[in-house]
Amino acid sequence: MDNINKWNADKYNKHADFVSNLAFPVLELLNPQENENILDLGCGDGTLAAEIIKCKSKVIAVDLSDSMVEKTKERGIEAFVMSATQLTFVNEFDAVFSNAVLHWVKDADASIKEISKSLNDNGRFIAEFGGYGNIKFLTDAMQEVFNRHEEFGNFNNPWIFPKDSEYKQLLQDNGFNVEYIELIPRPTKIDDIRNWLDIFANGIISHLTKEQQNQFKEEVRAILKPKIYSKKDGWVADYVRLRLKAYKTKNSKKE
């Protein structure tokens, strides 16, 4: 089943700017230095790569979405369409930075191996993405609507939200020295949940008719409204971030 999310750079810009607006703590953790070579893995529309370049670092940006890569290039940033599990770099970067992307990569071990291969010895890996418990209200609601409608088929959850202990072990197994890793609950204000579903969950329902897709969104919205909507705060999604800083050690396997 084609479960691939389609990214619309304009919708993303209009309704999902919170993704980069809330990324300043992880940029601080990166602490880019002048002349460092930095890979922005999953650059989206290039907002954060543009921030990193302000520190006079040299940035290469990659993303799986060609429309996002185009937006990034429009900012004058060198950018390529590339998958986190098939990076073409070898010992090239002082740091690999990734925000709000790695929960889309089901094979976490493969992406960690590729990140390690891309880094110089002692290079650092700084990332933040959805961790254990992330958007549980949302995924439970999606599952419930699929359960109600046999004709929709199975709910094919495209995300991984690992525990800090699990991800730390994976990093260590791949020769990283983990300086910091933490799960951080971060309730996040979003636009109407329909916009969130349009931007981030369109792959889950791409096999359905337009009418069924509409029904899915309306039913998910109705389940979630009493749980994550209030007049005072609007829609607030139950985000949990996994934030980390790790160093590639000399013992990292070269595969």
Question: Does 200 contact ligand BEZ by CB under 6 A?
Answer: yes
Q: How many residues bind ligand BEZ (CB under 6 A)?
A: 8
Map residues 222-241 to x or -, x wherever contact with ligand BEZ holds by CB under 6 A: -----------------x--
Q: Which residue in 155, 159, 202, 212 binds ligand BEZ (CB under 6 A)?
A: 159
Residue 108: CB minimum distance to ligand BEZ, A: 15
Q: Does 100 bind ligand BEZ (CB under 6 A)?
A: yes
State in angstroms the smallest separation of the CB of 200 from ligand BEZ: 4
Q: List strands edge to edge, sheet with 229-230.
A: 188-190, 234-237, 229-230
Q: Would you give the end-to-end CA distance of the chain in angstroms? A: 31
Q: Does 124 bind ligand BEZ (CB under 6 A)?
A: no
159: exposed, middle or buried (C-beta count within 10 Å: 0-12, 13-18, 19+)? middle
Q: Return the range that interacts with ligand BEZ (CB under 6 A); candidates 6-14, 21-29, 128-136, 216-224.
A: 128-136
Stretch that binds ligand BEZ, among 117-125, 127-135, 144-152, 215-223 (CB under 6 A): 127-135
Residue 16 or 119: the one with the smaller Cβ distance to ligand BEZ is 16
d(C-alpha 62, C-alpha 76), whole Å: 14
Backbone angles phi, psi at 80, to 5 degrees: -135, 150
- Candidates 98, 134, 174, 252; binder of ligand BEZ (CB under 6 A) is 134
Residue with smaller CB distance to ligand BEZ, 120 or 158: 158
Least Å from the CB of residue 111 to ligand BEZ: 16
Choice between 119 and 145, CB closer to ligand BEZ: 145
Residue by residue, what is the 3-state secondary structure of 109-144? Answer: HHHHHHHHHHEEEEEEEEEEEECCCCCHHHHHHHHH
Closest CA relative to residue 61, chosen from 85, 74, 80: 80
Of 32, 130, 162, 175, the one binding ligand BEZ (CB under 6 A) is 130
Q: Tell me the C-alpha distance between 39 and 25, whole Å.
A: 18
Binding site for ligand BEZ (CB under 6 A): 100, 103, 130, 134-135, 159, 200, 239
